[in-house]
């Protein structure tokens, strides 16, 4: 168990965490969410002891061990076995069998143990990094973006592994589907505080939105009430017969603490600049063949026609040729044979996962955008900066001081300046936070041109793809249909650790799984229905009271203007009673909502279990 108590952390005039607390209990797998730059990595560094908090404390029981999976892949040894053994504590450095046992569990064969780690795919390099952490047998496993640069099959394997992890996990990832699959709780950094709830990311964001709505409504009501009291005091301060009432209002005003208006948090909200295209085909690839060495062809006789409105997902294991295909389609690589033909009027934009390294660290964000498109003026560049959440002076920040996510937004900003009808994107979401990923999907969905997308994010594929280029079993094929249709008809083979219904529950048919899901949903409706009715009734009562409060306020104002002391007393009492009633109803609403959430969680767990591999 790890406890974070009232920590404070800031850099210069930017406060990241203020009186923030979090407790990680035994067996909890917690997903840490928050906007880029709001303190996720800082919090992980504080937990790891790399960066101390300005105030507050982080405590854990004696002997409680942390295991941290770094984002960067760096190897110092020339064999997989020796690299894994670097994770062993000094007094166990000769116990190689411990490292070999973990490596076997992570899918390495005995013949792999003497190979150079650099020879393996990104997925297995991450597994090797994970092995170095696991040999320490940590109590808390801290994972910072473990899915970056992994293919879909590797992500599914790690998802299955983590759901079986017997101790605690603290996970940061931009992949919302992966997080929801793995975690039992979400902890969010929001307005310098940390809030933890049981359940999924959707439940967390819904709860935050609901809390802020209630806060703002309460704040407005209190401000309105405060102004009414001030008006009453000003109007009747000199009237002796109302002196006691005026003094009572003054005391009420002194006790009342004003709630600050919540500052608006800007979301990434943008759209791509569409260039109209009248043709039926944007590009055509004919019988493409490519290889880096003649003995190992990556792509053989592949053809593809791209039409306006296409959403083509390129999927498959790492190292099979996905990025190579995109480079062939953008004509950054020449095929061994075959050709890629663009029709006149096509304007394409290309985002590559390594392109952030091409940015000039000494330029500002604004200068980078202007330099990329000299035809656009400074105001156009500033508009794009605003859309990418670089407002005012932040547009003058140097590229060298930006985070990975901020650099990715700069690269997207360069695309936004150009009128396009074809987007070719290679892993564009790796450094975006969850909110930015959601906005990015919305922008792609609204784009009127065609999109060709390499991604391991299954949420992107489910939301966007209507055609797929599939690298599987040393072949490249074109699948005409959605990603869900691909999973239902073909799916990933057993070696790739499929997520078909049969692999989720051996011996159980899809029909039986659907029936089980229907039964769980029916049971949930039966159990939670009465509570939901109570919540609806309370909400209706609150709305009714607020309507009556408005009417009484109007009557009180009229009585005040007419100087009717008796009416003022009557309406003031009615107003106080109604406000007390609303406060009690809000408490009832919170209680019933908590009951609903706690009783719903077992059903959510059952439904999630059906979806797990």
CATH of residue 201: 3.40.50.300
Q: CA 9, CA 471: separation in Å to the nearest integer? A: 46
Q: Which domain holds residue 478?
A: 283-355+413-499
Residues 332-371: pLDDT tens digits? Answer: 899 999 999 999 999 998 988 666 667 888 889 888 888 8
Residue written as tokens 């700069």?
Answer: 410
One domain for residues 514 and 476:
no
pTM confidence score: 0.65
One domain for residues 164 and 223:
no
Predicted pLDDT at 314:
94
Q: CA 509, CA 515: separation in Å to the nearest integer? A: 10
Q: CA 182, CA 461: separation in Å to the nearest integer? A: 19
Is the CB of residue 165 less than 8 Å from the CB of residue 141? Answer: yes
Q: Would residue 216 count as lying in a domain?
A: yes
Q: Would residue 107 count as lying in a domain?
A: yes
Predicted pLDDT at 353:
64
State the DSSP string of 294-362.
TTEEEEEEEEEEE-TT-EEEEEE-TTSSHHHHHHHHTTSS--SEEEEEEPTT--EEEE-TTGGGGS-TT
One domain for residues 351 and 449:
yes
User: What is the mean pLDDT for each group of 10 consecutive residues in the chain (613 residues)?
Assistant: 91 86 93 86 90 92 88 86 90 86 82 90 81 88 82 80 88 89 93 91 89 84 84 78 76 76 69 88 94 84 94 86 91 92 92 73 87 77 80 84 78 84 88 81 91 90 92 88 88 46 39 67 77 83 84 84 83 86 82 78 70 53
Widest Cα–Cα separation across the chain:
103
Q: CA 605, CA 608: separation in Å to the nearest integer? A: 5
Nearest residue to 10 via CA among 258, 192, 239, 214:
192
Sign of CA dihedral 76, 81, 86, 91: negative
Q: Under DSSP, is residue 422 helix (H, G, I), strand (E, B) or coil? A: strand
Predicted pLDDT at 295:
77
Predicted pLDDT at 501:
33
Question: Environment class of residue 492 by beta-carbon count within 10 Å: exposed (0-12), middle (13-18) or buried (19+)?
Answer: buried
Residue written as tokens 């990241």?
Answer: 16
Q: Would residue 117 count as lying in a domain?
A: yes
Predicted pLDDT at 449:
93
Sign of CA dihedral 248, 254, 259, 260: positive
Predicted pLDDT at 58:
93
H or E element at residue 559: helix 510-562
Predicted pLDDT at 542:
84
Q: Would residue 377 count as lying in a domain?
A: no
Q: Would residue 404 count as lying in a domain?
A: no
Predicted pLDDT at 498:
33
User: How many separate domains does the chain show?
Assistant: 3
């Amino acid at each position: 168990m790890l406890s974070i108590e009232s920590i404070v952390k800031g850099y210069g005039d930017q406060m990241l965490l203020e009186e923030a607390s979090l407790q990680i209990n035994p067996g909890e797998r917690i997903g840490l969410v928050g906007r880029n730059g709001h303190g996720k990595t800082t919090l992980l560094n504080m937990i790891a002891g790399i960066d101390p908090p300005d105030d507050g404390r982080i405590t854990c029981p004696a002997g409680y061990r942390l295991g941290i999976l770094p984002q960067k892949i760096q190897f110092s040894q020339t064999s997989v076995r020796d690299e894994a053994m670097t994770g062993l504590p000094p007094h166990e450095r000769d116990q190689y069998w411990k490292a070999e046992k973990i490596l076997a569990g992570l899918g390495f064969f005995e013949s792999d143990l003497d190979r150079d780690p650099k020879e393996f795919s990104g997925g297995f390099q991450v597994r090797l990094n994970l092995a170095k952490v696991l040999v320490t047998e940590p109590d808390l496993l801290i994972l910072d973006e473990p899915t970056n640069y992994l293919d879909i099959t590797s992500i599914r394997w790690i998802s299955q592994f983590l759901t079986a992890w017997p101790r605690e996990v603290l996970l940061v990832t931009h992949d919302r589907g992966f997080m929801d699959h793995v975690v039992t709780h979400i902890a969010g950094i929001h307005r310098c505080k940390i809030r933890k709830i049981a359940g999924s990311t959707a439940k967390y964001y819904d709860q935050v939105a609901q809390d802020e709505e209630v806060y703002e409504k309460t704040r407005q009501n209190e401000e309105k009430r405060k102004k009414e009291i001030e008006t009453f005091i000003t109007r009747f301060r000199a009237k002796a017969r109302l002196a006691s009432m005026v003094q009572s209002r003054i005391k009420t005003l002194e006790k009342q603490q004003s709630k600050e208006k919540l500052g608006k948090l800007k979301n990434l909200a943008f759209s791509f600049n569409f260039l109209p295209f009248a043709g039926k085909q944007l590009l055509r690839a004919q019988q493409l063949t490519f290889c880096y060495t003649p003995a190992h062809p990556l792509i053989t006789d592949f053809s593809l026609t791209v039409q306006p409105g296409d959403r083509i997902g390129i999927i498959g294991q790492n190292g099979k040729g996905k990025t190579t295909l995109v480079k062939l389609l953008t004509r950054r690589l020449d095929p061994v044979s075959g050709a890629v033909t663009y029709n006149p009027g096509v304007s394409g934009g290309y985002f590559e996962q390594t392109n952030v390294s091409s940015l000039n660290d000494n330029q500002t964000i604004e200068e980078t955008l202007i330099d990329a498109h000299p035809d656009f003026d400074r105001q156009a560049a500033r508009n794009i900066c605003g859309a990418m959440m670089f407002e005012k002076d932040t547009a003058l920040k140097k590229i060298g001081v930006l985070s990975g996510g901020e650099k990715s937004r700069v690269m997207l900003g360069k695309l936004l300046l150009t009128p396009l009808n074809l987007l070719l994107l290679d892993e564009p979401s790796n450094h975006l936070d969850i909110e930015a990923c959601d906005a990015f999907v919305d922008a792609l969905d609204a784009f009127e041109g065609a999109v060709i997308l390499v991604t391991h994010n299954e949420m992107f594929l489910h939301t966007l793809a209507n055609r797929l280029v599939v690298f599987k079993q040393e072949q490249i094929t074109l699948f005409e249909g959605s990603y869900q249709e691909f999973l239902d008809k073909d799916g990933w083979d057993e070696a790739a650790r499929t997520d078909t219904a049969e692999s989720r529950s051996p011996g159980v048919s899809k029909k039986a799984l659907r029936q089980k899901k229907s039964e769980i949903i029916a049971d949930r409706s039966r159990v939670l229905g009465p509570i939901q009715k109570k919540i609806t009734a309370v909400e209706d009562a609150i709305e009714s009271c607020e309507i009556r409060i408005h009417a009484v306020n109007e009557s009180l104002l009229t009585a005040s203007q007419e100087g009717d002391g008796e009416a003022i007393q009557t309406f003031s009492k009615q107003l106080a009673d109604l406000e007390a009633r609303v406060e009690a109803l809000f408490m009832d609403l919170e209680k019933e909502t908590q009951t609903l959430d706690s009783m719903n969680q077992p059903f959510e767990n059952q439904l999630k279990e059906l979806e797990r591999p």
